[in-house]
Amino acid sequence: MLPGDVLLSTLCRPMLTITQDTTDPPGIHDTHIRMCDAYLYEIHGLGPYKGCFEIVSEVIAPYGIAPEDIPDPFNGFLNLQYDCDTKAWIAREPVTKPGDYIEFVAEMDCLIAISNCPEDRLTDSSGKKCTPLRVQVFA
């Protein structure tokens, strides 16, 4: 996704428009995969364990938002590529560096929930590590 691209709600309403992306190359963000969930861990013999779906659902519940109303995730800075040979999605090394950011303009009132995905329990993280994320909201 690049500047000018729009993230849509589950009802196809514009929620956020990307205005800047400082990564090189820009646009390395995932919109293909759903959030992991407890069932995914269960079928792989790693449960019971909460996935992003349960984490986000619990955080937004006090706002009256049902889990089924959560739109598909925008996985910012996730360098996920499809490997045609193995027919699998592969997480590649991030392209971000300290100070990189993505900027959005809200097209409607939005409640944003962020989850540090625990999916590394299923796949080898290959030395990738999580780093701090700063979120700024300008009114």
Tokens 């993505």 sit on residue: 102
> How far apart, in whole angstroms, are the C-alpha atoms of residue 81 and residue 29?
10
pLDDT at 100: 92
Residue by residue, pLDDT tens for the chain (139 residues) are 899 999 998 889 999 999 999 999 999 988 888 888 889 888 888 878 888 899 999 999 999 999 988 888 888 888 888 899 999 888 888 888 889 999 999 999 998 888 776 666 666 554 566 677 888 998 8
What's the pTM value of the predicted model, to 2 decimals?
0.79
Tell me the HSE value of 17 on the side-chain side, using a 13 A CA sphere.
6
Residues 69 and 10: beta-carbon distance below 8 Å: yes
> How far apart, in whole angstroms, are the C-alpha atoms of residue 46 and residue 62?
28
DSSP state letters, 28-49:
--B-SSPPP-HHHHHHTT--S-
Token readout for 6 is: 């729009």
> What are residue 18's DSSP bridge partners?
104
